[in-house]
Structures are given as C-alpha cells and as structure tokens.
Amino acid sequence: MDLRLSLAIIMGKIISFLNKLTGSGATAAPGLYALKIDPHLVKKLTKKLRYGNIIISGTNGKTTTARLTSDIVSTKFRVVHNRQGSNLLRGIASTLISSSSLTGQNPANLGIWEVDEATLPQALENIEPQIIALLNLFRDQLDRYGEVDSIRKKWQTGLLSHGRGTTLILNADDPGISYLGKFFKGKITYFGIGEKKLNLPEISQVADVKHCLNCGQKLNYSTTLSSHLGHYTCPKCRFKRPKPDISASNLKFNSNFSTSIKLTVNGQLLFERYRDLTVNYSLPGLYNVYNVLAAVAIADQLKIDHTKIRQNLESFSAAFGRFQKVTIQGKSAAIFLIKNPTGANEVLRILSQKQNMSILAILNDKIADGRDVSWIWDTNWEILTTKIKRISVSGTRAWDLATRIKYAGMKMSKNNVYENIDYSITKSIGNLSTIDTLIILPTYTAMLEVQKSLARLGGQKWHKD
C-alpha cells in the first residue's frame, strides 16, 4: 500500500467535502493540496487506468472536444474526465481523487484530460497518454502564455519524449500544429477540412503563422479558412499541409446555429450505410467542425462503432457558454464565449448570418481572461455593423469595448455601457421583446458571472435548439 498516495487522497477528499459544505466552487483545491503531499499522484493514478489516457489541448475548442470525445467513447469505456474544465495539473488531480478509492483504485478504465496549453509539457511528464490530440495554436492571453512560438517550442520538447505506443492527432490545416509531427516518433493521424470555399462571409483574418517554420519562407495558401488555418505549401522547402485522414466536406452553417457536414475517414465516407450521409449537430461555426473532427479521430483510434459516433454527434450539447440557449421569463438568450481574436472572429462570422440582433458583449480583464485586452482591436466587429438592432457592453473593461464598437461604426450610447454584469443582464433581458433573442458574448470570467445571473433570473431551462 502506498501510504503517501493514500494520505494525499484522504486530504483531497476532505477538502472536497469542505468545499461542498461551504458552497465553494474551488474545484482545483483538492488536487492542489494533495499534490503537496504526493507530487506524483497524477502519475500514479493515471497508470492504474487499464485502457490508458487521452490528452486534448489547444488554444480553442479543447473543452468542447473533450466533452464530445467523452460522450462518444463512454459507449465503450468507463471514462474519468475533468468535465468541469479545470485543466491544470491540480484540476486533473482533483478529478482523479474524487473518483478513486483511498487506495487509488478507480472504477474507470480510460482517462480523458482537457489540458491547458501552458500545462501540456507538465501533463506529458505526469501522464503516459495513449492518444494526444492537438487542436490549434492562436494568440491568446499574451501576459500568461507569451507568443504562440514559445508555446509551440515547449510542446516540441514534450513530444520528443513520447512515441512508441502513443498516437498523435494533429490539425492538418494549422501549419503550426502539423509542423509538430516532425518531432514525434510514433503514429500520427491528421484531421482537416476538405472544402475550398465556405458558405460563410469573408472576414479579415489575423494570422499567427505566416511563414514556413522549416525555412522561414512565406507560406502560399490555396485556401484560407480561418486565421492561418487552410491549405498551404511552402514554395521553398517540402513543408505543406498533410493529407487529412479524417476530413469534413459539404459544410453547411444554418441560421439556427446548427451545422451539417459529411465525414470521411481514411478515404471512405463515414456513414455509407445510412440513406443520408450528412451528419447534423447543434453546434455553430467552423471552429466546432474542427472540434468534431478531432473527436471523431480519437473515436476512430479507439474503434468506436460508427453508429455510436453519429448518435452522439447529433445529440451533443456544448458546455455552458461555449454555445448555449436559455429561456428566461419567456424570453430567449444565446451565449457564445469569446476570448481571443480568432475565436471571437469566428463567432462574429456566424452571427453575421442573422439580422436585427440584440447583443450584450462583456469584456473582463481578470487573470483567467488575460490582463491585456488589446486583442479586441483584431476582432472584426465591422461585419455586424448593419446587422444590429441594439448593442450594449459590460464588464471590467466595458469602456474599452464600447470604444472598439464605436469605431466599428455602430451606434454606442453611454447609456448602454454597464460595468456591473448582473445589472447588464437584467437590463438587457428587460429591454428584449419576446420574439427576439439576446446574444450574449462574454469572456471567460464574465461567462461564469452570466451563468449566475441567468440562474437568478430563472434561466434554468437550458436547451439545444
């Protein structure tokens, strides 16, 4: 019996009990203190999972991808997953503690771990993954992470220590991600989008990778999908977009924020046995197509039945704020998380399909959001200028956002600037007609406050369509 491990688990369970007793939301606290007792707790507990571990990381989409993957593979495995989104090592430790016995035994046999970009090297030191899925790298919270190049270099180092027995799943459309394949010795699977043109409005793109990471030559793009994602080649060296093993085609983005696609796996349409080859799911936007592709790539590696994949794609509901609809006092609201230029631009791109919208945009600059809010000037608010009926702003940096929106050519009155988020929700719902939908666009910590405010107003009825 490992006494240090047992003591750490006991400490974590006590703290978890006290958190529940006091109503604290500190989900990472049990792991934080348990790791002080046994720094190898995560390594010891993840080794006990019979079918191994899956690590999912990237700037955008890791929460949705991890949840979707968990839903799909739970049809075959008993999964332990940091579903609450606490994605640092202490959050993973907390999840393991809550599901383990005092001796470290776990009824689960497969771990699915959403991992923060900056934490990935540490996670790779403590978890021996069966699968690593890397979604994308975009500029995000420069005060916390630094430039994307510094994150990528740390990932490269972490990947060098893995190989045999591990499958690496990479986004073929992101040159900064596909480039990582050269630092990995094991099996690599790529996913990407096969379309040359999307049925979405063109927007100005902010690219974080413009030059070949091998030789420094400017990349040529035959297709640009979002930011630096697309179909690319280097005119000087042999670096180019790998051919995806898992791909999406016939993308259709619907005005009700649902999406339909066709999926191809290893050259064959995934659902050939169905009369309708199209998969329909209740998630909006191009960014969620990539999340779906990553989840399908993982499921395919685990040999999940294709019928189960389809069923779970079509019934999936995103985590709160990533995309969620709610009814409050007979009125409707839809919440989209925005937290960096690329993610925000894709949300605005989807919203541009609508007319006469009522929008509440909320900008916070707390630690979890990033103190630097200059990224709002790289977001394409201009695409909504003719689509807005009413727009309000809130949050700790409400005036910064109001200035940005004013420069986008929208009417912005000081009477529509609310520094208090709870008041802004109440006011915006009050001004909303029963035939309209309030579009709420919060940053990360603002999203948590939005959730509390909507619950207070009676918005417990969450729905997908």
Query: Are the C-beta atoms of 230 and 221 separated by less than 8 Å?
Result: yes
* pLDDT value at residue 464: 39
Range of the domain at 392: 323-456
Domain finish residue from 314, 331, 353: 314
What is the secondary structure of 35-84 as a DSSP string? HHH-TTHHHHHHHT-TT-EEEEE-SSSHHHHHHHHHHHHTTTS-EEE-TT
**Judgement on whether residues 300 and 380 belong to the same structural domain of the protein:** no
Beta strands in 369-421 (DSSP E): 388-394, 417-418
Domain finish residue from 295, 314, 333: 314
SS3 432: coil
**Judgement on whether residues 365 and 434 belong to the same structural domain of the protein:** yes
Residue 233, phi then psi, degrees to nearest 5: -145, 155
Q: Is 465 a member of any domain?
A: no
* pLDDT value at residue 462: 43
Residues whose CB falls within 8 Å of the CB of residue 147, separated by 6 or more in sequence, listed in order: 139
* pLDDT value at residue 146: 58
**Judgement on whether residues 93 and 218 belong to the same structural domain of the protein:** yes
* pLDDT value at residue 465: 33
Any idea what the CATH number is for the domain that residue 188 is in? 3.40.1190.10
**Judgement on whether residues 271 and 123 belong to the same structural domain of the protein:** yes
Task: Tell me how many domains the chain contains.
Answer: 2
Any idea what the CATH number is for the domain that residue 348 is in? 3.90.190.20
**Judgement on whether residues 239 and 265 belong to the same structural domain of the protein:** yes
* pLDDT value at residue 325: 85
Domain finish residue from 257, 282, 314: 314
Q: Is 462 a member of any domain?
A: no
Intra-chain end-to-end CA distance of the chain, in Å: 51
Question: Tokens representing 249?
Answer: 């085609």
The answer to whether the Cα torsion of 190, 191, 195, 197 is positive or negative is negative
Half-sphere exposure of 441 (CA within 13 A, CB side): 26
**Judgement on whether residues 191 and 169 belong to the same structural domain of the protein:** yes
pLDDT digits (tens, 9 = 90+) for 200-237: 777 766 788 999 999 999 999 999 999 999 999 999 99
* pLDDT value at residue 463: 41
Q: Tell me how far the alpha carbon of residue 328 is from its chain's centroid.
A: 26
Please tell me the chain's helix, strand, coil percentages from 3-state DSSP, rounded to the nearest 5: 40, 20, 40
* pLDDT value at residue 14: 95
10-residue mean pLDDT profile of the chain (465 residues): values are: 93 92 79 96 96 96 95 97 90 96 95 95 95 91 66 92 89 97 94 88 78 94 92 95 96 90 88 74 93 97 93 86 83 91 90 91 91 91 92 96 94 90 93 91 92 81 41
Q: Is 216 a member of any domain?
A: yes
